[in-house]
Chains A and B, each alone.
Chain A
């Protein structure tokens, strides 16, 4: 059995007034895993991360990081983790060199060792050219990368990243992704929160979705996607009414709607239904200009478990045509 990097059991954090930001959550992360922690704003992600990083004390429950209790052994936990918070925290009146070297020294490195490590990180995160400038003069992307470098300075076993690519341009995001992948390949456990679903899909091997302080879904991205039993078949054509009638006759249970370029059919088994629909239209001499199969994405999973759109759907208040179509189905 793999050793656990993070073990959380019945963790609760209640704030003044009884508001529970985290409500009895339990999850674990294996050593060397890349774990994604998803949820809407205010779901409890950041509070959980702050508890794991010893910045916030839990109300009850237990959290172990690298085998150390966050309440009883905070300094051991701090030595084990690197935490890049949602808001970048840097000394603006110091250079990147100074920021990194000071943090290195605070983790017990010698000046020489800290300088060497800072140089490595500045090069890896492509900041070496600006390393001697005051951080106050950095762009948002540069600050974000430096913040990640600070979190990595002491070579932590576990890296906790709270929306680390927020505000980065696509190129900057790729730099960070690549570096995180390499780190994880070298054995560093990564716990990541992000609002970019493609990022979580690309990087994380396991996910948990938190909503209202509770974990509402967990598993691999692939398994979570399987919980959405709907694919969207888009067919580009001119004779929409005739095509719609043909499809509805053959597949009366599949919701079908007009789009600006043709038709969209929702199917629980898109892989099998797409060729059947194309054959049906071909046999009826309906000219198909193009087609597309949209399989469930992590965003669909997120919306299913944590999206407010589904609350509207349940209550019948939603006016999103996409959701309306799903209701008809």
Chain B
């Protein structure tokens, strides 16, 4: 295991550094969620008057979406960062070192979890400054950060899998469009009770819905072990298990 832990620590630090260089490159992942938050929370305020809409304000209802989008955008960079290493030849430099092949992949996933938490925290503070409510308390804060970290790592596995499998920047770029259906075919715009037809079915099938509902529950109703929070954790863990397995498989395939 000596070829795993120590190299993993070094590569974890390197992955964190890579994520923040250049610093300007991470600005869009702050800007877009915040932009959607500002626009939608102002434009759809009247929606709160619909019968069955229980949230006190659309701003309060939409703030968790902004938080989740921030995680989507930050963790989505994992695949691009791996692709950068592949196209620059640095990936093969790492393969030449006598370290476990897993030490090249897993610290990158972990670093994405840390980045998701850091970025989520900053967005969270911004949301608070703009009037978004938070009723989670200290326990809720830990739950929120834990959920964000798990979801961030899980989502990063998709980009890593595609990068390792295809080694094609265009494929990875195209995969970015997944973010929009996965974000918006959820309860992002309206509570499930107000949805109808195929859209309601699709929202029910989309696992991201449950993660979003977990975040929303913590922020608007408080932390603890409510049904929504437990399910959100379950979905985030399942996503992490599936995508990291896929990433490991694709990585093994490409590294030999």
Binding site for B on A (CB under 8 A): 53-55, 57, 75-76, 78-79, 81, 83, 85, 87-94, 98, 102-103, 105-108, 134, 150
Contact = CB atoms under 8 A, between A and B. Distances in A.
A86 to B, nearest CB: 9
Nearest to A89: B89
Contacts of B252: none
A312 B35 CA distance: 67
Contacts of B256: 57
B96 A93 contact: no
B88 A91 contact: yes
B89 A87 contact: yes
B44 to A, nearest CB: 40
B138 to A, nearest CB: 36
Contacts of B135: none
A55 B95 contact: yes
B98 A78 contact: yes
Contacts of A55: 92, 95-96
The 6 closest A-B pairs by CB, nearest first: A89-B89, A75-B98, A106-B97, A93-B21, A78-B98, A89-B93
Nearest to B19: A93
Interface residues of B, number: 26
Given A78-B97, A79-B98, A150-B93, A106 B7 contact: yes
Given A94-B17, A102-B10, A102-B14, A89 B97 contact: no
B16 to A, nearest CB: 12
B90 A78 contact: no
Interface in B2-16: 2-3, 6-7, 10-11, 14
Contacts of B10: 102, 105-106
Nearest to B103: A106
Contact of A91 (B18, B22, B96): B18
Nearest to B22: A93
Given A57-B256, A94-B17, A103 B88 contact: no
A238 B99 CA distance: 70
Interface in B78-122: 84-85, 88-99
A138 to B, nearest CB: 13
B5 to A, nearest CB: 12
A57 B85 CA distance: 21
A107 B21 CA distance: 25
A259 B3 CA distance: 65
Contacts of A103: 93, 97
A75 B95 CA distance: 10
A81 B84 CA distance: 25
Given A102-B14, A106-B99, A90 B92 contact: no
Contacts of B88: 89-92
Contact of B96 (A53, A92, A94, A102): A53
